[in-house]
Structure 1
Amino acid sequence: MTENKAIRIGLIHATMNSVQPICEAFRKHAPQVTLLHFMDEGLIFELNETGMITTAMVRRLASLIERAEESGVDGILLTCSSFSPYVPQIRGLFSTPVVSADTSMLEYAVQAAERIGVIATVGTAGPITTEQLKQMAADEGKTIKVRTEIVPEAFFALQNGDGDRHDALIREKVAELSATCEIVLLAQMSMARALDSFAVQPSVPVLTSPDISIRTILERLSMEGGGSGRQADLTRK
């Protein structure tokens, strides 16, 4: 890829709620990147109904990634944290780099804290995030304590257009977990919007995946010769 050619990133979504936060993060950190969106909103509805990820759902996810690769994108970013555990086996099927949005956020949390709070609005996202944190800590030989809170009413509020109620519910949980945790993670990209409405900043760091995932995908492309150093540096501002 030449220096003057714009990078194109394929974004894989399982819910419309993840579109706005990742688009805003790209506009802030890497506005020159072209975004292509690939959506299967039925995945998140099925996930909420069944509480489990099936082989058929993973195949549907892989189909979205295949469409993105066929569109000629330089990198692919999955915005739904519930499917993150399946990224390692899926990425081997494609020549285009595939990155999960929350992996870098979780790695940072394990390095930075021993008491970690997790907030999720989708039932499966909380346990999945918790298990990933514990596995990463085990791989590092580190002991952590994870407290996980799931707020499904926040998901449905946002899905029904009541963003204020979604944000208020998230803020309440952040305040609750801040009393005992060193770091709080918002497990899903769609939750990042709640940070914009804090009247008083939380007493501990609250991590979200949009900014970190942009840095990860651009650094990955830069290392593989798929992007310019300037584009990767934008994410460190």
Structure 2
Amino acid sequence: MSEEDYRIGLIHATVNSVQPILDAFQVHAPQVTLVNFMDESLIFELNETGTVTKNMARRLLNLVEKAVMSGVDGVLLTCSSFTPVVSEISHLFDVPMLSADVSMLEKAVDMGTRIGVIATVEAAGPTTTALLEKIASKRQKDVTFKTVIIPDAFKALQNGDRTKHDKLIHQKVQELANDCDVILFAQFSMARALETLDMTTTPPILTSPEISVKSIVAKISKKEIVI
């Protein structure tokens, strides 16, 4: 099977993650066929509970199962808050599965020792930082983190106020700029803020859509080679 024939299932927990990943596929893998699966109630519940419950994990599992049953060659979860669930359920399926941010986090650890994390969903900040610490420990690298969470930015985006969303993120970027080697945006929905950001005075900023697209396509290709 060639890359042109790949079908990839996208699992969404918020509508705000949809357009950034569709745009990234259009630029970096336009030949891939995408199939979208969504349960937006997951992100609302996550904002209320602050943690991924067993019930939420089961609902994600059901979405992945629907994707796999539809005949996709790989599955990409687009909400970083649910990244820990991937390691718990990926062994249940025969197709490659990738979380929204792991490849980006690995790249961030490779790039520097002072990493800034900006999130707009409460649970995403601690989840991202914990994963970064795990990656750094595995690579025996001493890394420090500065994590900021901007729930008002997520609320603004939910209400259609992109300008406020971007402005709040830009403010935090400038606050972290002098103390970080690299800054990462914890969620797909934040990638849009780069379009309106003056990058001349900031360290490198990583977002997960572009990296995730390349990683899931490579993961599917590798599986084909192994088989």
Structure 2 length normalisation: TM-score?
A: 0.96
Corresponding residue number in structure 1 for 2:108: 109
Q: After superposition, what is the alpha-carbon deviation per residue over 1:60-112, rounded to whole angstroms, capped at 9, x for unaligned?
A: 00000000001001110000000111211110111111111200000011111
Corresponding residue number in structure 2 for 1:21: 20
CA displacement at 1:200 relative to structure 2: 4.4
Distance change >3 Å, CA 10–CA 127, structure 1 → 2: same
SS of residue matched to 1:96: coil
SS of residue matched to 1:217: helix
Q: Is the 8 A contact 2:3 2:31 kept in 1?
A: no
Q: After superposition, what is the alpha-carbon deviation per residue over 1:138-175, rounded to whole angstroms, capped at 9, x for unaligned?
A: 11111110000000000000000001110111111111
Is the counterpart of residue 134 in structure 1 residue 149 in structure 2?
Answer: no
Q: After superposition, what is the alpha-carbon deviation per residue over 1:151-202, rounded to whole angstroms, capped at 9, x for unaligned?
A: 0000000000001110111111111111101100100010000000014434
Please, which runs of 5 or more residues in structure 2 have no aligned partner?
A: none
Corresponding residue number in structure 2 for 1:165: 164
Distance change >3 Å, CA 4–CA 127, structure 1 → 2: closer
Identity %: 56
Corresponding residue number in structure 2 for 1:40: 39
Q: Is the 8 A contact 1:119 1:187 kept in 2?
A: yes
Is the counterpart of residue 192 in structure 1 residue 156 in structure 2?
Answer: no
List, as ranges, runs of 4+ consecutive aligned residues in structure 1 with deviation greater than 4 Å.
none
Distance change >3 Å, CA 208–CA 202, structure 1 → 2: farther
SS of residue matched to 1:31: coil
Q: Is the 8 A contact 2:74 2:220 kept in 1?
A: yes
Q: Distance in 2 between matches of 1:4 and 1:166?
A: 35
Corresponding residue number in structure 2 for 1:223: 222
Corresponding residue number in structure 2 for 1:90: 89
Counterpart AA for 1:146: F
Corresponding residue number in structure 2 for 1:175: 174
Counterpart AA for 2:187: Q
Please, which runs of 5 or more residues in structure 1 have no aligned partner?
A: 227-237
Q: Distance in 2 between matches of 1:58 and 1:32?
A: 31
Structure 1 length normalisation: TM-score?
A: 0.92
